[in-house]
Structure 1
């Protein structure tokens, strides 16, 4: 069921996603490079890393680590505003674009199923 208000949406991190968090709370996404061409290139002793690493910036890491399957987009926006103040503006426009990107394009997060009732 789609939400009428996107600020009520609750996301959770995709269970299949591998990531690391460093001591500064910066998130690095790990994507396994397991295509047959990559495996073949490794057999030829070419230096193809097993994982592609994508490191998020402070803002993206903060948002990503705020996604817990309980907080709504509204809730995440509020903690983001408390952390970053005016730097986060335009707050919800930026937040919604980012969440849409990491859900639809990257598949880092998924919408949490809302129980009917």
Structure 2
């Protein structure tokens, strides 16, 4: 079933955030990813007085893409904006963006809206 998801054109997908995130003053984005969904594991983590979340810091390109995943723009539009913002430093833009979006989806950090 997951493989069928990518049979259509990824550029037409509209990515939406699926985890909490934080915007820092330096312009970077931190994703707050739960360490576990298992209730027993969460109890153990709490007993150890550890954070229930893992923070993932995105680089400049990743932060820019994350901010564009607003549930309105599709991957094609995000790629065009990424290219106009960063120029040739992101080339090949759609290969890199496609890989990044697939990783975010596989890790359940984003979902897609209006997949036909």
TM-score, length-normalised on structure 2? 0.80
Structure 2: runs of 5 or more not aligned? none
CA deviation vs aligned residue, 1:64-102 (integer Å, no higher than 9, x gap): 111111111110011101111000101100000100110
Cα–Cα, structure 1 residues 33 and 66, in superposed 2: closer, same or farther, change >3 Å? same
RMSD (Å) for aligned C-alpha atoms: 2.3
Q: How does 1:16-31 map to 2 (within 5 A)?
A: 17-31=19-33
| DSSP-derived class of the 2:108 partner | coil
TM-score, length-normalised on structure 1? 0.79
Structure 1: runs of 5 or more not aligned? none
Whether the 8 Å CA contact 1:30–1:52 is kept in 2: the answer is yes
Runs of 4 or more off by more than 6 Å in structure 1?
none
Match for residue 16 of structure 2?
12
Q: How does 1:1-117 map to 2 (within 5 A)?
A: 4-14=8-18, 17-33=19-35, 35=38, 36-37=40-41, 39-40=43-44, 42-43=46-47, 46-104=48-106, 106-114=107-115
Cα–Cα, structure 1 residues 48 and 109, in superposed 2: closer, same or farther, change >3 Å? same
Q: CA deviation at 1:42?
A: 4.2
Whether the 8 Å CA contact 1:32–1:51 is kept in 2: the answer is yes
CA distance in structure 2 between the aligned counterparts of 1:113 and 1:84, rounded to whole angstroms: 28
Larger Rg, first or second structure (1 or 2): 1
Corresponding residue pairs, total: 110
Q: CA deviation at 1:47?
A: 4.9
